[in-house]
Amino acid sequence: MIAIQRKYSIERRDFQSAGQVSSSIKKIMKQVGVNPEVIRRVSVASYETEMNIIIHSNGGTMEFSIGSDYIKIIALDRGPGIDDIDLAMKEGYSTATKDVRELGFGAGMGLPNIKRCADDFDIQSEVGKCTRITIGFNL
Ligand SMILES: Nc1ncnc2c1ncn2[C@@H]1O[C@H](COP(=O)(O)OP(=O)(O)OP(=O)(O)O)[C@@H](O)[C@H]1O
Ligand SMILES: [Mg+2]
């Protein structure tokens, strides 16, 4: 059963709105009384996912749902896609530009962190088309 479902739009390079999606998700989890340890993991994963869409993609959406025993986040963007997913998943690998690094991003830790925080993690990408990340958490 899905109790709550939200869909958010994220624009490329919209640093003004950075963190708004993950804040909204965190607020909902607090309202429905999710365990704080799970809230922490979901918050880290959703923030890193949101920032990657802002920084690396042409924009996209994040869908968030809470059921009775599971939290799911599906991120889908409009490209440019990831050529080598194994490489992108490596700690320290980043294609972030100088201007983005000056904002404090680009350590190459986002994707490995998302995977570490999640109970289920799936990433699929088609170059020139989209990247889809599905993240799940057991309650
Ligand atoms: N949604 C995306 N679309 C296209 N490429 C992506 C996307 N997300 C990640 N990448 C690619 O994977 C690389 C690694 O991502 P990761 O989040 O681990 O590190 P980062 O974003 O570069 O740095 P950090 O997350 O530590 O600030 C990115 O540098 C980028 O090349
Ligand atoms: Mg990142």
**pLDDT score at 1:** 60
**pLDDT score at 56:** 98
For domain 2-138, the CATH class is: alpha beta
CA distance 96 to 76: 20
**Quick check: CB of 127 below 6 Å from ligand 1?**
no
Which H or E run contains 130?
strand 130-138
Q: What is the arithmetic mean of pLDDT over 78-86? A: 98
**pLDDT score at 9:** 98
CA distance 94 to 105: 9
Question: What average pLDDT does the chain have?
Answer: 97
Considering every ligand atom, which ligand is closest to the CA of 108? 1
- Reported residue count of the chain is 139
Considering every ligand atom, which ligand is closest to the CA of 86? 1
pLDDT per residue as tens digits for the range 26-64 = 999 999 999 999 999 999 999 999 999 999 999 999 999
